[in-house]
């Protein structure tokens, strides 16, 4: 059952599947536009910094890494802003506006002639990212029905993870052959296709009629919201410290040719896809246990990668398990934010992607600083390990506060009941 302007209607299973696939296709496009820069980083560096790339390739790659950080910062700014302003909009209309912005911003990224303009275009094209995933997750959860929130979130995020299996490697290959600018034009085509798919099959859904800027922004007054954001931001920095520099890690540390980089990205993407759907299913059982378990897996995987990255087996196994653990955390952190945000569901769904992209920016920036300082391409792996340990520590803090609050509530209820009985 869903709502239309004419009243409630019943959707066929085929229509529901089509709508979920259309929403996931948007995630596929977003995954492609966000992550293709990792595989094409050396190509971007050679195009935008030709002299520096010839004399000091590590410095050029580190400089080009700001393209990744600019996109991440755009997500951080755009997610809460758009979600707060547009929470009352009908959801399909908002999705269509966001997809239009994605298409135009990605075209601008491909055509921008200078490094500064590329940075600006990447920032602007990232603004709809968090709002799209937030609204699409709410639509998917509604289509899936009660008790399947985690799986609905995972389905939308599944488009992003599958992009790392198919879209990013294929578009990386296209970029290596035809240039990174052509790769971004291909991504723009994906967004245009998604616009048509959403227009055709996603049903009309009302926005939140009670939402106002004030009610949505109230979530920022809750300590637990900030802690959940920090868990995502710092913890996910562990993934992006590695993923941002996976191309030079594979070529300079493991000693593989550039032609193998797309295969490394496929393995990363397979791990992310498996982890995402496993995380979505487990979140519906326990958010807390999911967060703890997947952080521990990520810490072990990063340590193993750092110790064995010089070997082909170590590289491929490491990126698989790092991708799986990190991707499994995403629906868990989103569910946690929705729990602690209470009446700010729209902005909470979007804030998850602000947090993850703060991690993206943080990991890419710290990894780039380590490389530029001469510490080598293995250094970002150890930085990622430290960030993941910090994320787990923050998760322990936030869930401990929950437990203490429940105990205080239980004591209060016991005392109140005892007083009533005595009276």
Give the DSSP per-residue string, 218-235. GGGG-HHHHHHHHHHHHH
What domains are defined for the chain?
A: 2-412 (1.20.1250.20)
More confident residue, 380 or 16: 380
Highest mean pLDDT: which range of 201-205, 294-298, 363-367: 294-298
Model confidence at 353: pLDDT above 90: no
Note the pLDDT of residue 7. 38
Contact 28, 190 (CB under 8 A): yes
Using DSSP, state whether 260 is helix, strand or coil.
Answer: helix
Note the pLDDT of residue 420. 55
Structure tokens at 118: 């590329």
Of the pLDDT bands very low, low, confident and very high (cuts 50, 70, 90), residue 53 is: confident
Contact 344, 63 (CB under 8 A): no
Using DSSP, state whether 3 is helix, strand or coil.
Answer: strand
Contact 91, 205 (CB under 8 A): yes
| Tens-place pLDDT, residues 287-321 | 888 889 999 999 999 999 999 999 999 999 999 99
Rounded to whole angstroms, how far apart are CA atoms 261 and 247?
A: 6
Question: Hunting for tokens 């958010």 — which residue is that?
Answer: 287
Model confidence at 224: pLDDT above 80: yes
Rounded to whole angstroms, how far apart are CA atoms 362 and 334?
A: 19
Rounded to whole angstroms, how far apart are CA atoms 241 and 131?
A: 24
Q: Of 327, 377, 362, whose CA–CA distance to 164 is shortest?
A: 327
Structure tokens at 131: 């709002």
Model confidence at 26: pLDDT above 90: yes
């Amino acid at each position: 059952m869903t709502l239309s302007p004419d009243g409630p209607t019943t959707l066929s299973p085929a229509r529901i599947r089509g709508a979920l696939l259309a929403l996931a296709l948007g995630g596929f496009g977003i995954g492609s536009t966000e992550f293709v820069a990792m595989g094409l980083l050396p190509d971007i560096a050679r195009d935008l910094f030709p002299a520096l790339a010839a004399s000091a390739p590590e410095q050029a790659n580190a400089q080009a890494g700001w393209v990744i950080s600019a996109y991440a910062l755009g997500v951080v700014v755009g997610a809460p802003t758009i979600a707060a302003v547009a929470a009352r909009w009908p959801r399909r209309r908002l999705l269509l506006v966001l997809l239009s912005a994605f298409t135009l911003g990605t075209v601008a990224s491909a055509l921008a002639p200078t490094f500064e303009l590329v940075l600006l275009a990447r920032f602007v094209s990232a603004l709809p990212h968090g709002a799209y995933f937030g609204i699409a997750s709410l639509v998917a959860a509604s289509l899936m029905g009660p008790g399947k929130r985690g799986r609905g979130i995972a389905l939308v995020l599944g488009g992003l993870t599958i992009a790392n299996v198919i879209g990013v490697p294929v578009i990386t290959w296209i970029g290596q052959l035809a240039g990174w600018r052509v790769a971004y034009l291909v991504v723009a085509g994906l967004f245009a296709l998604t616009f048509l798919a959403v227009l055709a099959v996603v049903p009309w859904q009302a926005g939140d009629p009670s939402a106002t800027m004030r009610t949505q922004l109230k979530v920022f007054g809750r300590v637990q919201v900030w802690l959940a954001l920090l868990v995502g931001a710092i913890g996910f920095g562990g993934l992006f410290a590695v993923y941002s520099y996976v191309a030079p890690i594979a070529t300079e540390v493991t000693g593989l040719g550039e032609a193998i980089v797309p295969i490394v990205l496929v393995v990363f993407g397979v791990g992310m896809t498996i982890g995402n759907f496993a995380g979505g299913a487990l979140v519906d059982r326990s958010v807390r246990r999911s967060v703890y378990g997947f952080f521990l897996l990520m810490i072990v995987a990063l340590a193993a990668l750092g110790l064995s990255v010089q070997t082909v087996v170590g590289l491929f196994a490491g990126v698989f398990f790092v991708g799986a653990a990190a991707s499994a955390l995403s629906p868990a952190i989103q569910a946690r934010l929705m729990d602690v945000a209470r009446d700010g569901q729209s902005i909470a769904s979007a804030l998850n992607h602000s947090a993850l992209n703060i991690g993206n920016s943080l990991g890419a920036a710290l990894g780039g600083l380590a490389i530029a300082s001469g510490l080598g391409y293995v250094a970002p792996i150890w930085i990622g390990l430290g960030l993941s340990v910090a994320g787990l520590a923050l998760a322990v803090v936030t869930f401990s506060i929950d437990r203490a609050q429940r105990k205080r509530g239980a004591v209060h209820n016991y005392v109140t009941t005892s007083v009533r009985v005595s009276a």
